[in-house]
């Protein structure tokens, strides 16, 4: 982790040559051209996110006559149909490529190590030899293509009382979050070493996981159920939502499913802990992983039967105003070295992606912006076609190009794994030069709102765990940097 912070001093934005890989049919398409007129990406993304979100919505005034409704429909139907054709075709990919900014396909010419969700691939021929480097690169590609991909779908049952049957143009944040949670389930049930088999039949656990993310109310973690669970946080079919609301929606959905099903049959067999700062993030500042809270979440999840259970940590962050503050970039890079890493929900406003790996200043991501027909898998069919849930096309963009509003995920299998996470997170905060992504505390009593020049005091007199370090959000000179944070 220290190496990331040392290398930050020499970070630059120079682009590297790309080694293109041939796209495979079905899961990807050609990237859009690099056009300078789309440099104002946030403007474009907000336009498309707000404009496209209304095309599938259905509203009707109780006082309108049938004649008026027919007239209104005839005026808008042609434009709506035209936009739907754009959204459902390759043009949607080109639009979102421009919103996200220039991206590249394949692996850059760099020979630096690649980190993918906690695993390191050494592709340098100098350090590992030609054969080992080639083998490491092939292993990375296999690992990447084994990650579960969730994309826009069309043709599913209408969401709730709406007439919306596709999430194209508005559901990318929901799809990105589905990918992150799906990886957590893969790690829990099949282990980090699992790779998608080349031969059928598939593992039952693998098919069951995909089934849970089907596009119907019958699937526990469908877009339908996510929208319903997130109503209190602003989720609505046809509207875009940010990372913080998305994390809270998953917390709500997990709670509702836990109450419906016996403990032994939990579909999400882990506690969900959304990490936030003082007073639930109302004051801004670095979120705090409270060990006491994590323990309570596990205890409640087990219905008071166990002191600890597997736990999913979701950490929503806002690391700047218009772009990620460079002070946070080394810490973001280092999170991919954590064995507990589940990646990042991030991208641009209105164009979310699931970021799974990093090489120097470039991040590798899975892109949900392809529109595919709905697929609802049966758990009884172990030879089902699951190709639409994976992607062989490796895309990357500069880390610094991400929008500052994002969320990081971590999965801790047991108490030892959580303790290891806390140790790594505390060490990362120590090396952050006063700009930690988040901090770690034993109890609530040890973190209080930080004012300019204040020092951290243990007001309650509780003794902290020796392995845990709590840092104020200011730098070593006592200067606060909360201006870089937006209230969550």
Task: Give per-residue pLDDT as tens, 139-153.
Answer: 999 999 999 999 999
* C-alpha of 196 from chain center: 21
pLDDT tens digit sequence for 173-210: 999 999 999 999 999 999 999 999 999 999 999 999 99
Mean pLDDT score, 140-169: 97
Predicted pLDDT of residue 349? 72
Distances (CA, A) of 29 to 147, 196, 353, 386, 409: 18, 22, 16, 18, 28
- Gap between the Cα atoms of 378 and 384, Å rounded: 8
Most confident range (mean pLDDT) of 47-51, 155-159, 300-304 is 155-159
CB 100 within 8 A of CB 348: yes
CB 368 within 8 A of CB 175: yes
Predicted pLDDT of residue 83? 41
Predicted pLDDT of residue 16? 37
User: Which among 229, 189, 218 has a CA at the least distance from the CA of 206?
Assistant: 189
Q: Which range among 65-79, 165-179, 227-241, 322-336 shows the weakest confidence by mean pLDDT?
A: 65-79
What is the crossing angle of helices 172-190 and 204-212, to 10°?
150
Predicted pLDDT of residue 162? 95
Distances (CA, A) of 308 to 296, 304, 367, 418: 9, 10, 34, 10
Mean pLDDT score, 371-397: 95
Instruction: Please give the positions annotated as active site.
Output: 172, 367, 369
- Gap between the Cα atoms of 455 and 446, Å rounded: 11
- Gap between the Cα atoms of 357 and 362, Å rounded: 9
The DSSP secondary-structure symbol of 305 reads S
Query: 3-class DSSP state for residue 104?
Result: strand
Reported confidence tier of residue 1, pLDDT bands at 50, 70, 90: low
Residue 215: both structure tokens together: 């596009």
Mean pLDDT score, 73-79: 41
Query: Which secondary-structure segment (H or E) carries 314?
Result: strand 311-318
Predicted pLDDT of residue 123? 87
Reported confidence tier of residue 45, pLDDT bands at 50, 70, 90: very low
Predicted pLDDT of residue 5? 56
């Amino acid at each position: 982790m220290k190496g990331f912070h040392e290398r930050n001093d020499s970070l630059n934005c120079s682009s590297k040559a790309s080694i293109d890989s041939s796209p495979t049919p079905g899961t990807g398409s050609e990237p859009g051209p690099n056009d300078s007129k789309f440099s104002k990406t946030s403007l474009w993304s907000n336009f498309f996110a707000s404009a496209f979100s209304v095309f599938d919505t259905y509203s009707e005034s109780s006082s309108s006559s049938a004649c008026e409704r027919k007239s209104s429909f005839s005026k808008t139907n042609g434009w709506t149909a035209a936009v739907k054709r754009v959204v459902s075709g390759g043009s949607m990919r080109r639009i979102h490529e421009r919103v996200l900014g220039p991206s590249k396909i394949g692996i850059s010419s760099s020979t630096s190590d690649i980190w993918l969700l906690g695993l390191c691939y050494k592709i340098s021929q100098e350090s590992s030899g030609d054969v080992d480097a080639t083998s490491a690169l092939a292993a990375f590609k296999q690992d990447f293509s084994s990650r579960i991909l969730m994309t826009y779908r069309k043709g599913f049952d209408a969401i709730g009382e709406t007439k919306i049957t596709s999430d194209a143009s508005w559901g990318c944040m929901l799809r990105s979050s589905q990918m992150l949670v799906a990886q957590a389930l893969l790690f829990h049930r099949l282990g980090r070493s699992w790779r998608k088999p080349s031969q059928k039949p598939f593992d039952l656990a693998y098919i069951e996981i995909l089934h849970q993310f089907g596009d119907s109310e019958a699937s526990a973690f469908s877009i339908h159920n996510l929208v319903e669970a997130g109503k209190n946080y602003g989720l609505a079919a046809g509207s875009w939502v940010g990372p913080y609301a998305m994390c809270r929606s998953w917390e709500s959905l997990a709670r509702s499913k836990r109450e419906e099903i016996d403990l032994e049959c939990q579909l999400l067999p882990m506690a969900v802990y959304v990490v936030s700062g003082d007073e639930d993030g109302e004051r801004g500042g670095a979120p705090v992983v409270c060990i006491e809270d994590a323990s309570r979440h596990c205890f409640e999840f087990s219905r008071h039967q166990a002191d600890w259970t597997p736990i999913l940590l979701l950490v929503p962050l806002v690391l700047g105003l218009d772009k990620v503050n460079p002070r946070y970039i080394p810490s973001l890079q280092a999170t991919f070295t954590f064995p507990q890493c589940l990646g990042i929900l991030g991208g641009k406003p209105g164009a979310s992606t699931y970021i799974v790996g990093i090489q120097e200043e470039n991040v590798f991501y899975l892109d949900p912006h392809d529109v595919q027909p709905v697929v609802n898998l049966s758990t009884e069919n172990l030879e089902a076609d699951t190709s639409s849930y994976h992607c062989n096309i490796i895309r990357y963009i500069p880390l610094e190009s991400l929008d500052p509003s994002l969320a990081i995920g971590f999965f801790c299998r047991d108490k030892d794994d959580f303790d290891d996470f806390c140790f790594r997170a505390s060490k990362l905060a120590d090396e952050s030069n006063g700009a930690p992504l988040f901090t770690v505390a034993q109890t609530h009593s040890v973190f209080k709102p930080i004012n300019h020049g204040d020092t951290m005091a243990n007001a309650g007199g509780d003794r902290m765990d020796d392995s845990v370090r709590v840092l104020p959000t200011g730098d070593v000179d006592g200067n606060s940097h909360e201006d870089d944070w937006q209230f969550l």
